[in-house]
Chains A and B, each alone.
Chain A
């Protein structure tokens, strides 16, 4: 075991954990002032609940055995986690416990991503039950597909460096499905619901960007040249996506906004996630630029679909994840990473086909199963808050607190 590798991946785990409070602030700035704590709580609570579930069975369902669709219970309740070093089916350069911790942080943030779509209207107990079920029944299997040998996406040859499909497409489609079940915010479309505190969103963006270096460069699972490439790619894609978003925004609305700069940067970070360790040169800039422009244009999707995706999880995470996953089929460069060779680098259309199939597979599975899970929770203990609680705001109705004293 190499101390340098272990130090970097452990550090990355800490960086990724920090993204969840970052995401909490990114979202909390955009909600109304009566729902700030509700939003922060949904995110911070994932750090509590998902971590314990991960130690119990989540990790084992994702990385146990070599089944095509789901892991097994070999590592349930931390069994053998400390002594195993080949969780993804090949020998790791870091201890198994480091891999466990690193993957746990991904498991935490993925369900938290969904909360942006359902802002201001989830009952806390319903939310807790929903993400518990979702993490075990949707996230763990999809992580297994993508990152564990035997998983059908892993074996197909499709690539997902840090979770474009497993995390962003997955959470983005899930967000769409949950919104279909819980419906729009009361007053959506008739009363204005502008962001209450964009400085929080800017702060959250900074934390996300910072943490994303661990998310992507840590996914090398080594402190090697691919980690360096992934870190630079991550940064350049965020930067160019910010520019792309702002240019379109300025042309279409007359102003370049701070929320636009933040949203664009996050869209770029999402899009580069699957590509981070597979592309090089100026590719991250082109991928980011495309993501910034297309994700901005995708803001209109929710209107077309008549869905109240409150904080644009579909446009940023689903569309951003799709852009990255599919563009990898074009931009993958085997001189950067021998695993992938895309259409622009002489690899033909094979990888592109695999990428499209992987994206479709995750979309169908996550979309359908999430819809069923959300419906079950809604029909049993209730996923949506009652009318009084929603009008009062989640801070008081769900948590008996106020973010701001009058």
Chain B
């Protein structure tokens, strides 16, 4: 099992969600996060005074999938979240040691 974590532009969330559902993903956890990558921050101006905003709002998705579905999930997110402009975000994959469904106590891929 793998944990796929993706950072995307907030306005792309609905498209990514719909695409992942269509690709058969059973669940997504979403959080509003802030950060910067190569895009850096942006500048805001209030009464002539400039403020450098380093942390840009982004959405973080976490999806636990079976090993075989990882490539599909990554392709789906990459396609749906892309705007081809800087700041589209990143995806990374980590191993999941153990997964438990709280209601039934099922473990492993059955709990996805």
Contacts and interface: CB of A to CB of B under 8 A. Distances in A.
B52 A299 contact: no
A194 B48 contact: no
B65 to A, nearest CB: 32
Interface in B35-82: 44-53
A117 to B, nearest CB: 14
Nearest to A297: B48
Contact of A260 (B44, B47, B50): B47
Contact of A263 (B44, B45, B47, B52): B47
Contacts of A299: 47-49
Contact of A312 (B44, B47, B52, B53): B47
A241 to B, nearest CB: 14
B46 A296 contact: no
A181 to B, nearest CB: 23
B46 A249 contact: no
Contacts of B51: 192, 194
Nearest to B47: A299
A249 B52 contact: no
Contacts of A249: 48
Contact of A195 (B46, B48, B50, B53): B46
Interface residues of B, number: 10
Contacts of B47: 259-260, 263, 299, 312
A254 B47 CA distance: 12
A255 B50 CA distance: 12
A84 interface: no
A379 interface: no
Interface residues of A, number: 17
Interface in A279-313: 296, 299-300, 312
A254 B42 CA distance: 14
A125 interface: no
B56 to A, nearest CB: 14
Contacts of B50: 253
Contacts of A194: 44, 46, 51, 53
Contacts of A254: 45
B48 A252 contact: yes
B32 to A, nearest CB: 13
A392 interface: no
A294 to B, nearest CB: 14
A195 B49 CA distance: 11
Contacts of A300: 48
Nearest to B45: A253
* Most chain B Cβ neighbours within 10 Å, of A30, A253, A263, A312: A253
A254 B50 CA distance: 12
A191 to B, nearest CB: 10
A335 interface: no
B38 to A, nearest CB: 22
Interface string A241-256: 0000000010011110
Contacts of B53: 192, 194
Interface string A220-258: 000000000000000000000000000001001111010
A252 B48 CA distance: 8
B107 to A, nearest CB: 35
A30 B46 CA distance: 9
Contacts of A195: 46
B37 to A, nearest CB: 20
A192 B48 contact: no
A312 B47 CA distance: 9
B73 to A, nearest CB: 32
A312 B52 CA distance: 20
A249 B47 CA distance: 8
B48 A296 contact: yes
A404 to B, nearest CB: 15
B52 A257 contact: no
A194 to B, nearest CB: 5
B64 to A, nearest CB: 28
21 contacts: A30-B46, A192-B51, A192-B53, A194-B44, A194-B51, A194-B53, A252-B48, A253-B45, A254-B45, A255-B45, A257-B45, A257-B46, A259-B46, A259-B47, A260-B47, A263-B47, A296-B48, A299-B47, A299-B49, A300-B48, A312-B47
Interface of A: 30, 192, 194-195, 249, 252-255, 257, 259-260, 263, 296, 299-300, 312
A-B pairs, top 10 by smallest CB distance, nearest first, are: A192-B51, A194-B51, A253-B45, A299-B48, A299-B47, A194-B46, A259-B46, A195-B46, A194-B44, A312-B47
Interface of B: 44-53
Given A249-B48, A259-B46, 11 more contacts: A30-B46, A192-B51, A194-B53, A253-B45, A255-B45, A257-B45, A259-B47, A260-B47, A299-B47, A299-B49, A300-B48
